Structure 1
Amino acid sequence: MKTLTTVTTTLLLAGASLVSFNSSAAPMSPYMEDALVETCKAAASNKTLRLSKTLKAHRLSERTVALGVVCNGEDIITFAQNHGANKTADHMAQSIGSASITDLAAIELVTYEVSFVTSPK
């Protein structure tokens, strides 16, 4: 249990130190914005295969997306749940792994936020 907590904490710290993103940074590239919008739409689709294919196509890891993507002001798991996509929400929640206690003031978390309008079906 202690090893799992140590590994989880180490991965979070390593991820935060590799990429830093803050509000004063330059706007994201159109490619990155399109990739994140496609990811949010795939999460809301309730199709785990579509979500996996989208993440693979853009070379994004499920864990990074689950921890760092914000869709229309909500984290991606909550966004999927609010759109009735419980399969994809559960899939993303499982990719996070077990819970651990982390001092958030001590690390800088990476988040990417994208807003978009969905067209009626």
Structure 2
Amino acid sequence: MEFLVALEPEPGTDPEDVERLGRQLRNELRALDVDDVAVLDGGPPPEGSKSGTAALLTEWLVTLSAGGGVLVTVIGTLKEWLSRRGAAHKVTVTIDGDTLELSNATDDERAALVETFVRRHQPA
């Protein structure tokens, strides 16, 4: 299974902080039971960004060969990573065109969204 993970830091985040945040999140993902976390180049700038503004979106293609429990672990790691940051960062997970956005939602809202998303993408 392959899926896209994208980090969109809070607007106005310094480019050095963006790079640091991206490295931290990628390292946490690589520490999991995943086959690969490949960096994708570029991507469109975040919606609403001004012309000439560098894209603040960091994206990775995550590859799994283990069972469906690893997807749950990856999403749990993303939730924990976001909860340790006080800023309004967003992380999205996209599988086959279906996107889950993790952001400043309450824990209950986020848990319900994650449960529905994971259920849709569990191996048969």
Both structures adopt the same fold (TM-score exceeding 0.5) = no
Report which of the two has the higher share of helix: 1
TM-score by length of structure 2 reads 0.29
TM-score by length of structure 1 reads 0.29
